[in-house]
């Protein structure tokens, strides 16, 4: 269920986001998750200031060194600093997540709006395509697309976005159908508002809460999928650090250098957990039935 639509709500949009943030901070789980995510974000953004090591530089005199003061998370099998690689790898994960969520919201949101608003044949054709895509598990679909396009960050973003779009389309469409049935939509039509104007001025603002929840959950899924694709060798190409690639490489040394999988694994787990908890908290904050 969405917030009650009203022109007032649209006009007070800036305050609304602050309101959501305040409500989120009042939720213990949401607040904790937000703090964790902010920390992860700062670590990733400020990586060049936090670590002195180039994540690609191979110190060949320090191969497979255990965590120490010199190398907080140890070094990998060709002497690269794991702490540095985890931070830069998190950057790539967050970048992929951000781009995927942005593109998914824009593309999936637009298709869902059109499908829900116009209905009829337009809706039927879009939904059959979406259903066809939905029959494939999103990871399999991403894997297929990424394998076809070849390993690169750009291709990972394309693969994960395409796999996430159907979910957005379905949710946005169903919300738009509800909004379309409201009296103010009929009133807008009567005074001559175009379909585009109705969708943008009445549809989009009423879909924001749903999109926020979906976006935070998709962010986590995108990070996990990027890691999975990199783990399987079709994601972020070497030598760029990626949490998934680091996990794949670390499995060879699990018995003798556990730090190679523990730290990337922890960072991945913490990031995705924080995003999922924020998604849950947002749902609680924004859903009147759960208040």
Partner 1 sequence: MTRHFTPPTRAARFARSLLAGALLALPLAATAQETPQYGGLVRINVHADAPNFDPLASTEFAVHSRLGLALSQLVAWGTGPDIAYGEFVPTPSLAESWEISDDGLTYTFHLRHDVVWQDVAPVSGRGFTSADVVATYEAMRAGGVQGGLLSAVDTITAPDDYTVVLTLSSPNVVLLQNLAHQNMWILPTEAFDGGYDRNTTVIGTGPFILTGDEAGVATTYVRNPTYFGHDAAGNQLPYLDAVEITPIRDLNARIIAFRSGQIDIWFGPLNLTQMAQIQAQVPGLQDIQTISNTQTEMYLNPAFEPFSDIRVRQAINMAIDRMAMGEVIRGGGAVGGVVGPALSTQTLPDDERIALYGTPNPERARELLAEAGYPDGFTFQFTLLNYGEEMVREGEWIQQDLADIGITAEINIVDRAAGMALGREGNFEALYMVMSPFAEADEYLSTHYIPGAIRNYAGVDDPELTAMIEEQRTIGDPAARQAMLWDIQRYIAENVQTTLPGWASLLLHPAHARVHGWHPMMTQGFPSLREVWVSE
Evaluate whether 43 touches 28 at the Cβ level (below 8 Å): no
Tell which one of 239, 266, 269, 290 touches partner 1 (CB under 8 A): 239
Per-position x/- string for 140-159, each x denoting binding to partner 1 as judged by CB under 8 A, each - no binding: ----------xx--------
> Closest approach of Cβ 235 to partner 1, in Å?
11
* Alpha carbons 100 and 93: distance in angstroms, whole number: 10
**How is residue 287 written in tokens?**
């859903």
Which residue in the block uniquely carries the two structure tokens 């972020």? Answer: 236
Residue 238 is a binding residue for partner 1 (CB under 8 A): yes
Nearest to 80 by CA among 227, 242, 213: 242
Comparing CB distances to partner 1, the nearer of 93 and 245 is 245
Comparing CB distances to partner 1, the nearer of 7 and 238 is 238
Nearest to 169 by CA among 220, 123, 221, 224: 123
Region near partner 1 per CB under 8 A, out of 52-60, 119-127, 131-139, 185-193: 52-60
* Alpha carbons 21 and 38: distance in angstroms, whole number: 13
* Alpha carbons 207 and 84: distance in angstroms, whole number: 39
Distance, CA of 110 to chain centre: 18
Residue 253 is a binding residue for partner 1 (CB under 8 A): yes
Tell which one of 16, 77, 144, 270 touches partner 1 (CB under 8 A): 77
> Closest approach of Cβ 239 to partner 1, in Å?
5
Comparing CB distances to partner 1, the nearer of 7 and 150 is 150
Evaluate whether 247 touches 258 at the Cβ level (below 8 Å): no
Residue 124 is a binding residue for partner 1 (CB under 8 A): no
Q: Which residues bind partner 1 (CB under 8 A)?
A: 56-58, 60, 63, 77-79, 150-151, 233, 237-239, 248-249, 252-253, 255-256
């Amino acid at each position: 269920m969405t917030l009650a639509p009203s022109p007032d709500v649209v006009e007070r949009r800036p305050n609304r986001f602050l309101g959501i943030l305040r409500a989120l901070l009042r939720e213990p789980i949401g607040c904790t998750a937000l703090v964790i995510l902010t920390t992860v974000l700062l670590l990733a953004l400020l990586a060049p200031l936090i670590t002195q090591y180039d994540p690609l530089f191979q110190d060949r005199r320090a191969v497979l060194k255990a965590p120490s003061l010199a190398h907080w998370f140890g070094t990998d099998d060709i002497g690269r600093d794991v702490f540095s690689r985890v931070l830069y790898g998190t950057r790539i994960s967050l970048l992929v997540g951000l781009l995927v969520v942005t593109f998914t919201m824009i593309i999936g949101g637009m298709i869902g709006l059109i499908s829900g608003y116009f209905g009829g044949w337009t809706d039927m054709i879009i939904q059959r395509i979406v259903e066809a895509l939905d029959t494939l598990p999103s990871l399999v679909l991403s894997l297929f697309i990424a394998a076809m396009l070849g390993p690169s960050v750009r291709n990972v973003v394309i693969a994960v976005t395409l796999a996430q779009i159907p979910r957005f389309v379905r949710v946005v469409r169903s919300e738009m159908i509800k909004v379309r049935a409201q009296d103010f939509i009929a009133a807008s039509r009567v005074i001559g508002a175009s379909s585009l104007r109705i969708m943008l001025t009445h549809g989009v603002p009423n879909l924001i809460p749903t999109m926020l929840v979906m976006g935070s959950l998709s962010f986590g899924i995108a990070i996990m999928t990027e890691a999975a694709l990199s783990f399987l060798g079709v994601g972020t190409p070497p030598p760029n650090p990626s949490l998934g690639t680091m996990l794949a490489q670390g499995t060879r040394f699990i018995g003798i250098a556990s730090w190679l999988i523990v730290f990337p694994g922890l960072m991945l787990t913490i990031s995705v957990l924080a995003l999922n908890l924020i998604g849950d908290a947002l749902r609680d904050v924004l859903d009147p039935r759960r208040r």
